[in-house]
């Protein structure tokens, strides 16, 4: 085999190793591919590879490294590098350009921003490429190759490709951290608001109960009516706050699932029992059809119960006469809950809108039902967390049928 042919195959091996690392990195948001790509550079590209990231203090911190068997002479900093350091990595960040160290003890050389490879015939023992966000350097990929192993233009092109992907990965990690920080801030806000809003409203209801009971003094019938209205308004406001906070709590972030095995029949009984008094007050028939025994369903009991409650409650709310019928069944893949009502129905153009937060089927000027329009929005969000589906069939004036499907094998969330 000729020397040129052997060298060509060596180049192809380096190319394959680099691009395998690039493919492993992809657009993943996690940190592990950073290490995977740096590992892919060793030993084909260089005995040692170091990845530096610019920290909040402006210094370069060693994020990860890969050292081969013959990497004894690879200089690994034990402390963060200042931006004015003479280290090639610091210089590449400062100049946002390719930097090479011609030989040990010599000064690093900087090439222009557009010159991604050294001039032909120029060799050096180590190289550093900037990792960028826009026009700003946020890190550096440093490789130490040692004496006697010249760099080729193809090497630098491949290193440039790896540096671009590492830049993208670092940006994704930054965005991920920002999203997590925003989610934590939202969670903290919801916790505070939940306490600060509930406490005074609960106190209002409590004091109204004391007045209604006549503890501070006698209460006339007219006053008792007004106290009842105060309590009703307070409970409606509590329900509104609960709907908004619950939707915000489950909108984004990692799903918190507590999976247990429960009876689908019992789940349906509990959900219908929660709205039975509301149906009775409106003179509606709330019927839970007889069911055949079904296998236990692995799911989050609290979330599944809330989904079915919101669907049945919504049916009762928008039904003026007639009734609501609840059925439970199963097929090989799903446990199926069907809620059919004789209410006002839903126009075809509104089918998708009913699952949007704050959407109401009636205009604000003429609406006759209360609530903030959060029930079905929350039900759909919880159903997604449970890996289920909600469908609706309806015609205006002829009622609606909501179908909830939950997987028989249990939730398999795909959220980040």
For 257, left (φ over 0), alpha (ψ -120 to 50), or beta?
beta
DSSP 213: T
Contact 60, 142 (CB under 8 A): no
Which of 78-87, 177-186, 229-238, 241-250 is predicted with the least confidence, judged by mean pLDDT? 241-250
Q: How many CB atoms lie within 10 A of CB 277?
A: 10
> What order of strands is seen across the sheet that includes strand 323-330?
285-288, 323-330, 334-341, 400-407, 389-394
Helix axes 153-212, 3-25, angle to 10 degrees: 10
Q: How many CB atoms lie within 10 A of CB 67?
A: 16
- Overall size of the chain counted in residues: 416
What stretches of 213-297 show up as alpha helix (H) in DSSP?
A: 221-250, 264-281
Q: How many CB atoms lie within 10 A of CB 344?
A: 19
Q: What is the mean pLDDT of residues 383-395?
A: 89
Which of 43-47, 267-271, 291-295 is predicted with the least confidence, judged by mean pLDDT? 43-47
Q: Among residues 332, 339, 343, 408, which one has the least CA distance to residue 369?
A: 343
Dist CA 260 CA 239 (whole Å): 27
pLDDT top residue among 243 and 130: 130
Mean pLDDT score of the chain, rounded to an integer?
78
Per-residue pLDDT at 230: 86
What stretches of 301-348 show up as alpha helix (H) in DSSP?
A: 301-317
Q: What is the mean pLDDT of residues 335-346?
A: 91
Per-residue pLDDT at 366: 38
pLDDT top residue among 209 and 44: 209
Per-residue pLDDT at 328: 94
67-88: pLDDT as tens digits: 887 767 788 898 999 989 989 9
Q: State in Å, rounded, how far the first CA of the chain is from the last one.
A: 51
Q: How confident is the model at residue 376 (pLDDT cuts 50, 70, 90)?
A: confident
Q: How confident is the model at residue 403 (pLDDT cuts 50, 70, 90)?
A: very high
pLDDT at residue 296 greater than cutoff 80: yes
Q: Among residues 320, 331, 322, 344, which one has the least CA distance to residue 394?
A: 344
Locate 86 and state its tokens. 């003479």
Which of 176-190, 220-234, 277-291 is predicted with the least confidence, judged by mean pLDDT? 176-190
Per-residue pLDDT at 373: 59
167-205: pLDDT as tens digits: 888 888 888 888 777 767 766 776 777 777 778 888 888
The whole model's pTM is what?
Answer: 0.50
Per-residue pLDDT at 57: 92
pLDDT at residue 112 greater than cutoff 60: no
For the chain, give the percent of residues with pLDDT over 90: 21
Dist CA 313 CA 317 (whole Å): 6
Locate 135 and state its tokens. 């026009």
For 238, left (φ over 0), alpha (ψ -120 to 50), or beta?
alpha
Per-residue pLDDT at 215: 87
Q: How confident is the model at residue 47 (pLDDT cuts 50, 70, 90)?
A: confident
């Amino acid at each position: 085999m000729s020397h040129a042919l052997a060298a060509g195959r060596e180049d192809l091996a380096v190319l394959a190793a680099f691009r395998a690392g690039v493919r492993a990195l992809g657009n993943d948001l996690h940190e592990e591919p950073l290490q995977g790509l740096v590992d892919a550079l060793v030993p084909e590209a260089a005995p040692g590879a170091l990845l530096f990231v610019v920290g909040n203090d402006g210094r370069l911190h060693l994020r990860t490294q890969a050292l081969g068997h013959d990497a004894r002479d690879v200089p690994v900093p034990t402390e963060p590098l200042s931006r004015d350091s003479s280290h090639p990595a610091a210089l590449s960040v400062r100049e946002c350009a390719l930097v090479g160290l011609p030989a040990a003890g010599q000064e690093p050389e900087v090439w222009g921003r557009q010159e991604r490879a050294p001039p032909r015939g120029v060799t050096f023992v180590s190289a550093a490429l900037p990792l960028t966000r826009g026009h700003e350097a946020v890190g550096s990929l440093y490789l130490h190759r040692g004496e006697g192993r010249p760099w080729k233009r193809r090497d630098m092109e491949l290193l440039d490709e790896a540096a671009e992907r590492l830049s993208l990965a670092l940006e994704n990690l930054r965005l991920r951290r920002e999203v997590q920080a925003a989610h934590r801030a939202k969670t903290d806000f919801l916790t505070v608001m939940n306490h600060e809003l509930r406490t005074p409203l609960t106190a209002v209801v409590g004091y109204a109960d004391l007045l209604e009971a006549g503890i501070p003094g006698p209460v006339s019938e007219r006053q008792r009516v007004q106290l009842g209205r105060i309590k009703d308004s307070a409970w409606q406001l509590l329900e509104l706050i609960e709907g908004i906070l619950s939707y915000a709590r489950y909108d984004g972030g990692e799903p918190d699932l507590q999976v247990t095995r429960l009876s689908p029949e019992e789940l349906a009984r509990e959900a219908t029992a929660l709205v039975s008094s509301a149906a009775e007050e409106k003179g509606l028939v709330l019927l839970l059809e007889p069911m055949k025994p079904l296998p236990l369903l692995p799911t989050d009991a609290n979330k599944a119960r809330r989904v079915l409650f919101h669907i049945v409650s919504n049916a009762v709310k928008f039904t003026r006469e007639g009734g609501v019928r609840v059925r439970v069944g199963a097929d090989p893949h799903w446990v199926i809950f069907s809620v059919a009502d004789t209410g006002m129905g839903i126009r075809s153009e509104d089918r998708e809108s009913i699952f949007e937060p704050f959407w109401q089927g009636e205009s604000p000027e003429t609406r006759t039902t209360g609530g903030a329009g959060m029930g079905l929005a929350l039900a759909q969000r919880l159903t997604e967390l449970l890996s289920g589906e909600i469908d609706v069939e309806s015609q205006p004036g002829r009622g609606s049928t909501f179908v909830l499907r939950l997987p028989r094998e249990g939730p398999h969330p795909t959220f980040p």
